[in-house]
Amino acid sequence: MKYRKKPVVVEAFRFEGADSEINAPYWFAQALASENATMDRALKDGQTHVYGCTIDTLEGKMHAKKGDYIIRGVNGELYPCKANIFRKTYEIVK
């Protein structure tokens, strides 16, 4: 048998490092505040740089890098998605 995915609308944003803490949607900011997501930082040349984030997902901890999308699923769950897969899978809802 073959199956087709049901059309599902999700919320998402592109993770862009440190700017994502400032420009993130409220649901990602809440995940950071509750520590269900954390910013991954490294010290480089005496300055702190954000290189990604770690998200507690239904499958365990997953990592997103700059340019990946963070998706909020239909039940409020968060998970990362590589940009090329995101573009193949999702389109903007009008």
State the DSSP H helix or E strand holding residue 22, giving kind and residue range, or none if neither. Answer: helix 18-23
Report which of 39, 47, 45, 36 is spatially closest to residue 16, judged by C-alpha positions.
39
Percent residues over pLDDT 90 in the chain: 66
pLDDT digits (tens, 9 = 90+) for 55-83: 999 999 999 999 999 999 989 999 999 99
Alpha-carbon distance of 67 to 90, in angstroms, equals 15
**For the range 33-42, what are the long-range contacts, defined as Cβ-Cβ under 8 Å and sequence gap of 24 or more?**
36/78, 37/70, 37/78
This prediction has a pTM of 0.86
Tell me the HSE value of 82 on the side-chain side, using a 13 A CA sphere: 3
Domain ranges of the chain: 11-89
